[in-house]
């Protein structure tokens, strides 16, 4: 499947459109606040349109995951090619992009959430130009992470995302913004370093053959074809790293279930677990969320957290299936702890935004658990939960933003009785809250149910413990609803106005998606089905292989 | 004329969807619709009732033994590794059970809609109220029609939602929003069990379809490969029923749910939703093992007993009815547990009529007193407290006489529907006792029958008979409008025997008993309860004994109630004083709320606070600590760098500088000094070498 505009592939467009927007924004005079806003909106809207085109053209039967042939919208070019660097040998890095069922949902989510975030940013008045420029750069970084198929490129996008986020929290954030920004930056950087180490270790453990045109051949393909005219090189190509045959015998990460492979898996897991964030690496999240401005919280919860679980499914599982099988129980355990612990700590919060932040930890724990199930139902639940959490939590943070803009406080105990004062707001919030607590008929239920049902088939006791979370979640969600909306209306809030048109525009589409997918999830599930079946199959093969002592 | 199966199924789906359409229209356009859309919602549910009657008639006459099924693929997982092709097939089925339930639900719902037009007149959120009634009816009908655990669970949670929204209808009151929350969360506790039960079955059989699951079990495949898990699955699914049908130990939410408008209590918290648990057990009955059924029977018996004792001591008219509902639900669950399947379900149907009637009747009373007090600007007297009532018989004759019929029915007096169903359950407990030796079960069954008659007549006497407690306060009380009394009369008529059986003493020839038969068990023979034939034999034997015994205990209960509260031969106050601790215990509802408040709620909240501390101090402390440590390390290395490394460099520089300074003194540039130094040096050398 290929799709190009003006000779450039759709994935390049969807990734770099925001950068184009950023350049235009930077050329506009800084007094032209509205021009900057509308330019940004135009570019993210265009990005969303492309995402819809991708959704329409995406072939639901192709598997992707570890084969380039079944990846879609693939774009490939030689990016860096240095013939010979001392003992390094030839350095050949590809600009390789492509999507499969695993990433397509995330591409859609990123485009959607970025669009919502730009609308939500309309009220930002401080240094508008810098803000929107950074926001657009962040958008490119996020999109790039989900479409990159070369580890080096992936890493570059991963880091590109970090810097704008740091400034967006550190400049436009709340009172303790600098603390939160630095904490976020250092914590994530710590994870990045671990990822970098594993990436380098993989680089020197995997070799492939390259011909004069720059086409890569896996070792098996090269053996079949004959190696004349081919050169043996190291590679960052992720898909080649998933092929056990490409590992150099005797290299650091060769073999099955070796200590080095375990270590690499764990290091990579920690790198991603920080991003999810999974217990016990989660404490940067509440601080970052509380200090970040609303649109940045929306992006943070809506998209950034998904990169952790996406990374595990895109990189850790296909490259280290042996270690994944070995450590699945521990991964599931962290997922369950995050679920229960996140929910319980959320219940004790009195700051509205902090409560939602902890609820994110709990809901992302469901993704971790579903993913660790290693079967189709669980992983489908996990990826669907990633999408649903993106839309639902985006709603929740927008909802906090709406009330904070008006009341300038987020103290849960200061509100009450807003149901009559702000009926539209109450209706939207009721949908979001019930979606978050997993009410059937709304999308969150289906993904949670499949995650748990899948996980139960692999880990019974853990899943039963995890299932108890649905009581706690109902507890803190309804309690929050009660504290904000029910009871008598305090006098000081009698002047609050209901949501305006702009706020409806950002919230109602999300609510519509949540309801639609809650009733009929197939359009989303069909997207990911073939890839996840394939991934589950890979794990099953690896499992069978490790039982037989061969890989 | 015979209707095709497809046509009946299409009608059933229409019955399901009509209230949903009403919900959407009224919820979105309530401001723009005349009368806030009450007529629209009422019209749609009335149509649903007519269609339900049509479906029931044709189901029973055209397809008495067939299950009509409509399935559709909802999600397709295609070729799943390790399982093969996997589709999530959902669907609806209409069997006799479902067809009867369709009528019960739409009938009560329709009557409650009409009643509400009078009762809720002038309410601040009149439109919203009707919209949520529509949402409830849709969700409840979903439970009725679902032929798979998934849709059952969906409907299950959605009735929970509508219950939450309607209990909290007057959400400005803290007690109302608390009660709504309590209902939802308590139900969720049961739902965890239900969901785990679903996971066990789906995890093994990869289908949600009940019939498919039964087929697998029949073929001898056990969930997760063991018989133990089969019993566990049954008990776990029953956990859902414990929550929804307010069974011990999760019964605490139902009395609080009376914070909702009274017609809601009648529809949701008496007749239909709370009976969903019973319906769920009936639906999953074939997979229940003997052990699971024993658990169910005991839970039902304990629930019936506890709540009947509590009902005796309550003074709020709705609280008494709430506890009586819990008690009667306990009866139904008990009936199913002992294997009296038909009797348990039959009691669900009859109870729906007379209990909805009791609640609507109490609503009529509350409505009248509330308005009377309102006109006198009395906002202190509790319009629901039966100690403030009395003598309403003459003021509200229709309400009184219909209430009397319902009370006779719930007390199990002959010629009423309640007598037929309760008698059948009691005979079932006797049969169960004789077959298994669990004699406590029939003992509790009969004891509770006596208690029920007693507290219900206490209620009637205190409310309607005797003198006004506060005559001037109630002077303005008058009968409710027609829109409220007509539903009462209809329900009273439906509480008589002839609708269900032409023989007033035995329902086993009646149409309900004929059309709802206990389904065959699919569990392995050695785990199953007594077979239907064996049980039916014992049941038949026990019938006469049960009837006589139940008449005796009901008579005793009614008699004592009249002696105590009407003729005042027995002083309730004296007894209460003599058994003060017992009275306090009952008045405080066995202290369940306090117990749960302390342990479940208090414990969880303490835990959350402890974890918040742990998170801020330990986990985040570790993060901040490592940050601090890094900074400290950098300070130390900075110091080391400045003072040791750089210090060493500086020291060497200093030393060489100092040496230079000293040695510079020697380099004077004067030849004479050099000559003197050279001579001295040579002499020193000479002496040194001499000595050596």
The predicted-structure confidence for B646-655, as pLDDT tens digits, reads as follows: 888 888 888 8
Contact B452, B555 (CB under 8 A): no
For residue B191, the distance in angstroms to the closest alpha carbon of chain A comes to: 9
CB contact under 8 A, B177 and A470: no
DSSP three-state, residue B363: helix
DSSP three-state, residue A549: coil
Contact A317, A284 (CB under 8 A): no
Asked whether the predicted pLDDT for residue A387 surpasses 60, the reply is yes
DSSP letter assigned to residue B3 = P
CB contact under 8 A, B86 and A187: no
Q: Are strands B84-94 and B68-80 parallel, antiparallel or unpaired?
A: antiparallel
For residue B173, the distance in angstroms to the closest alpha carbon of chain A comes to: 6
Tokens standing for residue B251: 């019964």
For residue A240, the distance in angstroms to the closest alpha carbon of chain B comes to: 23
Interface test with B, best of A273, A340, A344, A519 (most B CBs within 10 A): A344
Residue recorded with tokens 């023979």: B525
Check CB contact of A536 with chain B, cutoff 8 Å: yes
Gyration radius from chain A CA atoms? 23
CB contact under 8 A, A522 and B627: no
pLDDT of residue A138: 95
DSSP letter assigned to residue B4 = P
Segment A44-84, tens digit of pLDDT? 999 999 999 999 999 999 998 888 889 999 998 888 888 77
**What predicted TM-score, i.e. pTM, was given to this entire model?**
0.91
Which chain B residues contact residue A475 at CB under 8 A? Answer: 185, 604
CB contact under 8 A, B76 and A522: yes
Asked whether the predicted pLDDT for residue A549 surpasses 60, the reply is no
CA distance A472 to A343: 6
Check CB contact of A270 with chain B, cutoff 8 Å: no
Tokens standing for residue B662: 């000293």
CA distance B443 to A265: 63
DSSP H/E element including A80:
strand A72-85
Asked whether the predicted pLDDT for residue B20 surpasses 50, the reply is yes
Instruction: Place B158 in a pLDDT band, splitting at 50, 70 and 90.
Output: very high
Q: How many residues does chain A have?
A: 551
Which chain A residues contact residue B79 at CB under 8 A? Answer: 533
Residues 359-398 of A with CB under 8 A from B: 375-377, 380
CA distance A301 to A124: 19
Tokens standing for residue A117: 């975030």
For residue A176, the distance in angstroms to the closest alpha carbon of chain B comes to: 15
Residue recorded with tokens 């117990």: B595
DSSP three-state, residue B314: coil
DSSP three-state, residue B627: helix
Segment A313-370, tens digit of pLDDT? 999 999 999 999 999 999 999 999 999 999 999 999 999 999 999 999 999 999 999 9
Of A280, A468, A470, the CB nearest to B619: A280
Asked whether the predicted pLDDT for residue A151 surpasses 90, the reply is yes
Residues 418-457 of A with CB under 8 A from B: 419, 434, 439-441, 445, 449, 452-453, 456-457
Q: Taking Cα atoms as reference points, which of B306, B408, B327, B326 lies closest to residue B361?
A: B408
Of B192, B609, B619, the CB nearest to A467: B192
CA distance B289 to B291: 5
Tokens standing for residue B485: 């009394």
CB contact under 8 A, A344 and B79: no
Tokens standing for residue B359: 């609640």
Query: What torsion, rounded to 10 degrees, do the Cα atoms A220, A223, A229, A230 define?
Result: 30
Which chain B residues contact residue A280 at CB under 8 A? Answer: 619, 622
**Residue A233: CB partners within 8 Å, gap ≥ 6?**
A89, A90, A92, A207, A208, A209, A210
Residue recorded with tokens 């890569």: A216
**Residue A90: CB partners within 8 Å, gap ≥ 6?**
A81, A82, A83, A84, A210, A231, A233
Gyration radius from chain B CA atoms? 38
CA distance B166 to B112: 13
Segment B240-283, tens digit of pLDDT? 999 999 998 999 999 999 998 999 999 998 889 999 999 999 99
CA distance B80 to A97: 27
For residues B602-615, average pLDDT: 90
CA distance B171 to A454: 39
CB contact under 8 A, B188 and A471: yes
Interface test with A, best of B170, B177, B192 (most A CBs within 10 A): B177
Interface test with B, best of A60, A377, A543 (most B CBs within 10 A): A377
Check CB contact of A122 with chain B, cutoff 8 Å: no
Q: Which of A161-170, A530-539, B675-684 is predicted least confidently?
A: B675-684
Contact A444, A524 (CB under 8 A): no
pLDDT of residue A508: 93
CB contact under 8 A, B612 and A349: yes
CA distance B505 to B415: 7
pLDDT of residue B323: 93
Instruction: Place B355 in a pLDDT band, splitting at 50, 70 and 90.
Output: very high
Q: Angle formed by the axes of helices B227-244 and B149-167, to 10°?
A: 20
Query: What torsion, rounded to 10 degrees, do the Cα atoms B509, B511, B515, B519 define?
Result: -50
CB contact under 8 A, A282 and B619: yes
CA distance A457 to B334: 33
Check CB contact of A350 with chain B, cutoff 8 Å: no
| Nearest chain B residue (CA) to A478 | B181
**Residue A23: CB partners within 8 Å, gap ≥ 6?**
none
Interface test with B, best of A60, A180, A189, A345 (most B CBs within 10 A): A345
Instruction: Using a pLDDT cut of 70, give the percent of chain B over it.
Output: 99
Residue recorded with tokens 């990822």: A195
Check CB contact of A183 with chain B, cutoff 8 Å: yes
For residue A481, the distance in angstroms to the closest alpha carbon of chain B comes to: 10
Q: Taking Cα atoms as reference points, which of B244, B608, B596, B252 lies closest to residue A476?
A: B608
Q: How many residues does chain B have?
A: 692
Check CB contact of A348 with chain B, cutoff 8 Å: yes
For residues B189-214, average pLDDT: 93
CA distance A382 to B535: 48
Residue recorded with tokens 């009370």: B407
Task: Print burial letters for A238-251: b (CB count within 10 Å at least 16), e (below 16).
Answer: bbbbbbbebbeeeb
CB contact under 8 A, A347 and B86: no
Count the helices and strands in chain A (H runs, E runs): 23, 7
Of B177, B198, B611, the CB nearest to A482: B177
Which chain B residues contact residue A453 at CB under 8 A? Answer: 198-199, 202-203
**Residue B604: CB partners within 8 Å, gap ≥ 6?**
A344, A347, A472, A475
DSSP three-state, residue B402: helix
Cα dist from B407 to A149, B95, B351, B605, whole Å = 74, 31, 11, 42
Tokens standing for residue A148: 């990159």
Residues 281-300 of A with CB under 8 A from B: 282-284
Helices of type H across B120-173: 126-145, 149-167
pLDDT of residue B394: 85
Which chain B residues contact residue A533 at CB under 8 A? Answer: 77-81
pLDDT of residue B669: 75
Check CB contact of A415 with chain B, cutoff 8 Å: no
Asked whether the predicted pLDDT for residue A550 surpasses 50, the reply is no
Beta pairing partners, A409:
none
Contact A18, A136 (CB under 8 A): yes
Q: Taking Cα atoms as reference points, which of B470, B450, B414 lies closest to residue B561?
A: B450
pLDDT of residue B469: 64
Cα dist from A160 to A143, A144, A165, A310, B666, whole Å = 11, 9, 9, 17, 66
Residue recorded with tokens 């890094």: B630
For residue B450, the distance in angstroms to the closest alpha carbon of chain A comes to: 38
Segment A208-249, tens digit of pLDDT? 998 888 888 888 888 888 888 888 889 899 999 998 888 988
DSSP three-state, residue A43: helix
CB contact under 8 A, B623 and A485: no
Check CB contact of A127 with chain B, cutoff 8 Å: no
Which chain A residues contact residue B200 at CB under 8 A? Answer: 456
Q: What ipTM score was computed for the predicted complex, to two decimals?
A: 0.92
First to last CA, chain A: 32
Contact B119, B265 (CB under 8 A): no
DSSP three-state, residue B576: helix
Query: What torsion, rounded to 10 degrees, do the Cα atoms A494, A496, A498, A499 define?
Result: -170
CB contact under 8 A, A452 and B199: yes
For residue A542, the distance in angstroms to the closest alpha carbon of chain B comes to: 13
Which chain B residues contact residue A375 at CB under 8 A? Answer: 80-82
pLDDT of residue B526: 85
> In 3-state terms, chain B is what percent helix, strand and coil (to 5)?
75, 5, 20
Of A453, A470, A526, the CB nearest to B203: A453
CB contact under 8 A, B81 and A536: yes
Tokens standing for residue B102: 């369709």
Check CB contact of A43 with chain B, cutoff 8 Å: no
Helices of type H across B600-670: 603-613, 620-639, 646-664
Average pLDDT, chain B: 89
Angle made by CA atoms B199, B203, B207, in degrees to the nearest 5? 90
Instruction: Using a pLDDT cut of 90, give the percent of chain B over it.
Output: 49
Instruction: Place A551 in a pLDDT band, splitting at 50, 70 and 90.
Output: very low
For residues B475-497, average pLDDT: 88
> In 3-state terms, chain A is what percent helix, strand and coil (to 5)?
70, 10, 20
């Amino acid at each position: 499947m290929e799709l190009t505009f003006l000779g450039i592939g759709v994935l390049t467009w969807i990734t770099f459109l925001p950068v184009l927007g950023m350049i235009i924004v930077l050329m506009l005079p800084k007094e032209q606040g509205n021009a900057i806003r509308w330019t940004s909106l135009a570019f993210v809207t265009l990005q969303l349109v492309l995402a819809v085109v991708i959704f329409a053209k995406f072939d639901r039967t192709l598997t992707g995951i570890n084969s380039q042939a079944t990846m879609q919208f693939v774009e490939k070019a030689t990016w860096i090619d240095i013939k010979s660097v001392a003992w390094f040998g030839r350095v050949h890095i590809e600009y390789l992009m492509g999507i499969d069922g695993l990433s397509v949902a995330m591409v859609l989510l990123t485009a959607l959430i970025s669009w919502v975030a730009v609308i939500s940013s309309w009220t930002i008045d401080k240094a508008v130009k810098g803000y929107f420029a950074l926001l657009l750069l962040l958008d490119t970084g996020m999109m790039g992470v989900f479409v990159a198929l070369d580890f080096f490129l992936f890493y570059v996008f991963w880091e590109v995302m970090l810097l704008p986020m740091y400034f967006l929290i550190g400049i436009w954030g709340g009172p303790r913004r600098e603390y939160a920004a630095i904490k976020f930056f250092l914590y994530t950087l710590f994870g990045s370093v671990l990822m970098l180490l594993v990436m380098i270790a993989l680089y020197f453990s995997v070799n492939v053959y390259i011909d004069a045109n720059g086409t890569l051949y896996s070792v098996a393909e090269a053996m079949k074809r004959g190696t004349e005219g081919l050169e043996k090189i190291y590679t960052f190509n992720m898909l080649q790293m998933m092929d056990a045959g490409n590992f150099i015998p005797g290299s650091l990460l060769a073999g099955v279930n070796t200590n080095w492979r375990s270590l690499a898996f764990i290091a990579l897991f920690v790198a991603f677990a920080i991003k999810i964030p999974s217990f016990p690496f989660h404490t940067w999240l509440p601080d970052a969320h509380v200090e970040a401005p609303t649109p940045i919280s929306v992006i943070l919860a809506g998209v950034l957290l998904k990169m952790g679980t996406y990374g595990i499914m895109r990189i850790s599982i296909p490259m280290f299936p042996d270690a994944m099988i070995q450590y699945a129980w521990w991964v599931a355990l962290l997922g369950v702890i995050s679920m229960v612990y996140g929910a319980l700590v959320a219940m004790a919060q009195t700051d509205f935004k902090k409560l939602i932040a902890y609820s994110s930890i709990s809901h992302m724990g469901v993704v971790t658990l579903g993913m660790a199930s290693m079967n189709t139902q669980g992983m489908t639940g996990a990826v669907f939960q990633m999408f649903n959490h993106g839309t639902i939590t985006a709603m929740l943070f927008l909802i906090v933003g709406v009330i904070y803009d008006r009341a300038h406080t987020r103290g849960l105990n200061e509100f009450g009785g807003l149901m009559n004062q702000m009926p539209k707001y109450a209706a939207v919030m009721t949908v979001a809250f019930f979606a978050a607590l997993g009410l059937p008929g709304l999308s969150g239920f289906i993904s949670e149910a499949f995650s748990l049902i899948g996980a139960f088939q692999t880990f019974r006791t853990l899943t039963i413990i995890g299932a108890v979370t649905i009581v706690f979640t109902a507890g803190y969600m309804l309690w929050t609803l009660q504290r904000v909306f029910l009871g008598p209306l305090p006098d000081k809030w009698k002047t609050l106005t209901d949501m305006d048109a702009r706020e409806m525009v950002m919230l109602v589409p999300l609510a519509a998606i949540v309801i639609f997918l809650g009733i009929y999830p197939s359009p989303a599930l069909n997207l990911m089905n073939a890839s996840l079946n394939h991934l589950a199959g890979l794990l099953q093969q690896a499992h069978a292989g490790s039982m037989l002592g061969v890989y | 004329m015979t209707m095709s199966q497809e046509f009946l199924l299409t009608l059933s789906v229409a019955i399901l969807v009509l209230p949903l359409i009403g919900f959407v229209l009224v919820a979105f356009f309530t401001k723009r619709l005349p009368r806030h859309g009450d007529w629209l919602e009422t019209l749609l549910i009335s149509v649903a009732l007519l269609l339900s009657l049509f479906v029931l008639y044709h189901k029973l006459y055209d397809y008495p033994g067939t299950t009509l099924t409509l399935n559709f693929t909802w999600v397709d997982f295609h070729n799943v590794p390790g399982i093969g092709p996997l589709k999530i097939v959902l669907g609806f089925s209409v069997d006799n059970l479902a067809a009867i339930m369709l009528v019960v639900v739409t009938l009560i719902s329709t009557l409650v809609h009409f009643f509400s037009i009078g009762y809720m007149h002038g309410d601040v959120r009149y439109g919203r109220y009707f919209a949520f009634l529509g949402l409830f009816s849709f969700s409840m009908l979903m439970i009725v029609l679902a032929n798979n655990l998934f849709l059952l669970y969906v409907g299950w949670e959605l009735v929970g939602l509508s219950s939450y929204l309607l209990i909290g209808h007057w959400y400005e009151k803290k007690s109302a929003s608390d009660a709504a929350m309590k209902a939802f969360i308590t139900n969720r506790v049961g739902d965890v069990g239900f969901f785990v039960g679903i996971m066990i079955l789906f995890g093994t059989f990869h289908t949600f379809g009940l019939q498919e699951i039964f087929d697998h079990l029949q073929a001898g495949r056990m969930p997760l490969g063991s018989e133990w898990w089969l019993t566990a699955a049954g008990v776990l699914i029953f956990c859902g029923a414990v929550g929804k049908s307010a069974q011990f130990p999760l019964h605490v939410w139902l009395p609080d749910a009376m914070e909702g408008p009274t017609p809601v209590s009648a529809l949701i918290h008496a007749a239909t939703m709370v009976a969903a648990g019973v319906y769920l057990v009936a639906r999953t009955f074939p997979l229940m093992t003997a052990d699971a059924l024993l658990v169910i029977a005991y839970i039902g018996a304990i629930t019936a007993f506890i709540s009947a004792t509590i009902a005796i001591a309550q003074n709020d008219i709705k609280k008494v009815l709430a506890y009586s509902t819990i008690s009667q639900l306990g009866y139904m669950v008990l009936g199913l547990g002992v294997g009296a399947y038909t009797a348990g379900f039959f009691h669900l149907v009859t109870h729906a009529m007379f209990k909805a009637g009791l609640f609507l009747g109490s609503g009529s009373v509350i409505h009248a007193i509330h308005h009377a007090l309102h006109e006198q600007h009395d906002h202190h007297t509790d319009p629901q407290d039966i100690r403030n009532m009395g003598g309403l018989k003459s003021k509200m004759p229709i309400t009184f006489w219909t209430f009397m019929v319902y009370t006779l029915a719930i007390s199990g007096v002959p010629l009423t529907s309640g007598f037929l169903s309760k008698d059948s359950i009691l005979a079932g407990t006797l049969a169960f006792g004789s077959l298994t030796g669990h004699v406590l079960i029939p003992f509790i069954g009969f004891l509770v029958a006596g208690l029920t008659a007693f507290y219900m007549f206490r209620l009637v006497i205190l409310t309607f008979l005797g003198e006004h407690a506060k005559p001037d306060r109630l002077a303005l009380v008058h009968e409710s409008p027609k829109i409220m009394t007509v539903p009462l009369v209809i329900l009273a008529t439906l509480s008589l025997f002839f609708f269900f059986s032409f023989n007033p003493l035995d329902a086993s020839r009646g149409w309900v008993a004929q059309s709802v038969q206990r389904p065959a068990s699919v569990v392995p023979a050695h785990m199953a309860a007594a077979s239907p034939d064996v049980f039916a034999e014992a049941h038949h034997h026990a019938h006469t004994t049960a009837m006589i015994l139940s008449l005796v205990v009901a008579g005793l209960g009614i008699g004592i109630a009249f002696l105590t509260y009407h003729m005042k031969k027995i002083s309730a106050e004296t007894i209460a004083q003599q058994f003060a601790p017992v009275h306090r215990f009952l008045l405080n509802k066995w202290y369940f709320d306090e117990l749960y408040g302390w342990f479940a709620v208090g414990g969880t909240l303490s835990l959350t606070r402890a974890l918040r501390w742990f998170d801020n101090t330990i986990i985040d402390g570790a993060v901040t600590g490592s940050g601090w440590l890094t900074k400290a390390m950098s300070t130390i290395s900075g110091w080391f760098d400045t003072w040791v490394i750089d210090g060493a460099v500086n020291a060497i520089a200093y030393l060489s500088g100092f040496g230079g300074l000293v040695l510079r003194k020697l380099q004077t540039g004067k030849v004479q000094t050099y000559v003197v130094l050279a001579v001295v040096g040579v002499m020193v050398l000479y002496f040194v070498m001499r000595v050596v």
